[in-house]
Amino acid sequence: MSSLFTGVAPFNRALDYHLERHNVLATNIAHVDTPRYKPSDLARIPENGFANVMHVTLQRTNGMHMATGAAGPMVGQAFQDLSAGGGPDGNFVSIDREAAKLAANKVRYDVVSVLIKSELDGLMRAAADGQG
């Protein structure tokens, strides 16, 4: 049964990443007037990169368990993005830069959503024996 959804799993991780990144970027925008605030961003973690980030390796104790990293909570690694430069109050948030990153992230989220819908529609047609 789980093999039916193998095509959707990478999209699921992508949606999780873009949702998590949206929250990080929205937080940056909310702190545009906070003195000495340093904005964060989220970098993708490769599918098998969990071991490299956390310096640990996860193992399945049973072959029926989900594969390592298949639906883990960690989809991105936060880092401080100080590339916009600091203002007189020490705040590094550029509202234009953060808004542009937020808009681009939303477009990516929307594209992944369409791809998932297409994949699931194909599964529904297959389940209905092509009638639908």
pLDDT tens for the 132 residues of the chain, in order? 456 667 777 888 889 999 999 999 999 999 999 999 999 999 987 655 545 544 555 566 766 555 544 445 557 889 999 998 999 999 999 999 999 999 999 999 999 999 999 888 888 888 887 675
Residue 19: per-residue pLDDT: 94
CA nearest to 79, candidates 43, 49, 55, 31: 43
Residue 71: per-residue pLDDT: 46
Query: Can you give the residue ranges of every domain in the chain?
Result: 2-127
For the entire predicted model, the pTM comes to 0.73
Q: Mark out the alpha helices in the chain (DSSP H runs).
A: 9-30, 50-54, 95-127
Residue 69: per-residue pLDDT: 45
The answer to whether 44 and 17 have CB atoms below 8 angstroms apart is: yes
In angstroms, rounded to a whole number, what is the distance separating the alpha carbons of residues 5 and 116?
10
